[in-house]
Amino acid sequence: MSVGKVVLAYSGGLDTSVMIKWIQEKYSAEVYTLTLDLGQRDDFREIEERARKIGSKEHFFVDAKSEFVERFIFPAIKANGFYEGKYPLSTALGRPLIAEKLVDVAHKVGADAVAHGSTGKGNDQVRFDITVRALDPELKVLAPVRDWGLSRDVELEYAKKWGLPISESRSKYSIDQNLWGRSVESGPLEDPFSEPEDDVYEWVTPPERAPDRPEYLTLTFKEGVPVALDGERRDPVSMIQALNAIAGRNGVGLVDHIEDRLVGIKSREVYEVPAALTVLEAHRDLEKMTLTVHELAVKAELEDVWSRLVYNGLWLEPLRRHIDAFIDSTQRVVSGDVRLKFYKGHLQVVGRRSPNSLYRLEMSTYARESKFNQQLAVGFIELWGMQTITANSVRSRASG
């Protein structure tokens, strides 16, 4: 492949650090590096210095936390975005934004290719490749780990050969994180029968060591997205950070499951997602109060489609936009307060209220003041069960 300029999604780790020099050597290309702050708590100054020392022509840094929340996390909240009912799509939501910025920088510097550090076994390669090509089909996409079969041993040997400023220390886990979650895999977790060790967790206190007293908070939503904690308006980024801290210290936010990757592999995945689980649980509860049973039923079906599209790298699929249009329409009434209780790994909704509530006390109460006419139920039951009753009567005679 002939390339002249390449923009590399640069994390500062071994894989992408080696790639700077690898691409320069293998393709005789200039390498530009790009790092996004999605809330992963890295030392971005150190990352930039490392990229320049290794040979980056120019390093680009984008603080994308607010954009990440508003353009990706908020739609996921409205869609109750869980893959296979458990994973809140944290890494999956961040990849299309990184890919989009890669294309932006490629256009800015006149690059003819972009590169990323994904392997050929995971989902990220799909997310990066498809998003980049959907935005600019003319851009080439390089994935050296996948395309050249790079392993850690090969990368360390290569780094020594070129004297790259790389540490040989290594976590026994593969970790990715952003504001919406922290994913952990590999190492001891590859035995699906083994309980995760305590060193897996960074954001969430193991439930048995969480405080002995419950903690409460009230989360306020406006048109489907959270806007305040305990009545205090918060910007979206600081709100998610606060929820990660509150839920995490109470042992809430652990997900351990067997996940079906797009490439056909079943993988054991462990996630720390305290804010995501908190917000999504509260949001779903508020929807039950403000949406009709028919809206809820159709929305639930579309939520599964939405989540699979995002997980499988199709953020730019037109169908997702169509589903978003429906979901946005439903969210106009999803406003109100949800009271939550955290206690030793348990999250419970203990109260909810909304100006758009479909709950009516005068109809639901069993007190004497109830306005529900119980006699109406007699005719309703007769009509509702007519075909079932008739069918059983007819068929019992036929079988006799």
Q: Which residues form the catalytic set?
A: 15, 95, 124, 174
Residue 5 exposure: Cα atoms within 13 Å on the Cβ side:
14
Q: What does the alpha-carbon distance between residue 326 and residue 367 come to, in Å, rounded to a whole number?
A: 38
Q: What does the alpha-carbon distance between residue 341 and residue 281 come to, in Å, rounded to a whole number?
A: 12
Residues 6+ away with beta carbon under 8 Å from 254: 201, 204, 207, 270, 271, 272, 345
Maximum C-alpha span of the chain: 89
The two tokens of residue 125 are 């390669």
SS3 labels along 223-263: CCEEEEECCEECCHHHHHHHHHHHHHHCCCCEEEEEEECCC
Q: 333: which strand partners?
A: none
H-run or E-run covering 212: none
Q: What does the alpha-carbon distance between residue 61 and residue 45 come to, in Å, rounded to a whole number?
A: 9
Q: What does the alpha-carbon distance between residue 106 and residue 111 come to, in Å, rounded to a whole number?
A: 5
